[in-house]
């Protein structure tokens, strides 16, 4: 991961940690293994997932916080293919009262 990518993920992590509605978040995609990337892919599991305009506002909030487009994937409603891809290729950004092993088991059973 490049220094730029590390700075972006740290900024993103700070925003997610401050949100009490976020249970855990995982970064994945090109930011993890490429020098050039257009956006940040992040998968988030919420206690109560935002919907509609609230979701759009949340996405804009993340974009502004990190200075680059954030492709937000809500794990609460994600399909099995995306969940598998996220947990196979991603890196944990933040987790609240969860160990990563527990998270993987929860989603493996879904």
DSSP string, 35-102: S--SEEEEEEEESS---HHHHHHHHHHHHHHHTSEEEEEEGGG--HHHHHHHHHH-EEEEESS--HHH
Dist. CA 88–CA 93, nearest whole Å: 14
Question: Within the chain, what is the greatest distance between any pair of CA atoms?
Answer: 36
Range of the domain at 17: 3-109
Q: Who wins on pLDDT, 4 or 21? A: 21
**What is the per-residue pLDDT for 96?**
64
- pTM of the model as a whole: 0.81
**pLDDT tens profile 46-85:** 999 999 999 999 999 999 999 999 999 999 999 999 999 9
Q: What angle, rounded to 10 degrees, do the helices at 3-18 and 52-66 form?
A: 140
Distant-in-sequence contacts of 60-63, Cβ < 8 A, 24+ apart: 61/15, 62/12, 62/15
Q: In the chain, how many domains are there?
A: 1
Q: CATH number of the domain that 46 lies in?
A: 3.30.460.10
Dist. CA 34–CA 57, nearest whole Å: 28
């Amino acid at each position: 991961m490049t220094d730029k990518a590390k700075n972006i993920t740290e900024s993103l992590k700070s925003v997610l940690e401050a949100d009490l509605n976020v249970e855990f978040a995982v970064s994945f995609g090109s930011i993890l293994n490429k020098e050039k990337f257009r956006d940040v892919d992040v998968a988030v599991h919420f206690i109560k997932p935002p919907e509609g305009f609230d979701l759009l506002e949340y996405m804009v909030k993340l974009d502004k916080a990190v200075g680059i487009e954030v492709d937000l994937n809500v794990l609460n409603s994600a399909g099995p293919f995306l969940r598998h891809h996220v947990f196979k290729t991603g890196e944990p950004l933040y987790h609240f009262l969860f160990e990563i092993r527990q998270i993987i088991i929860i989603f493996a059973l879904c």
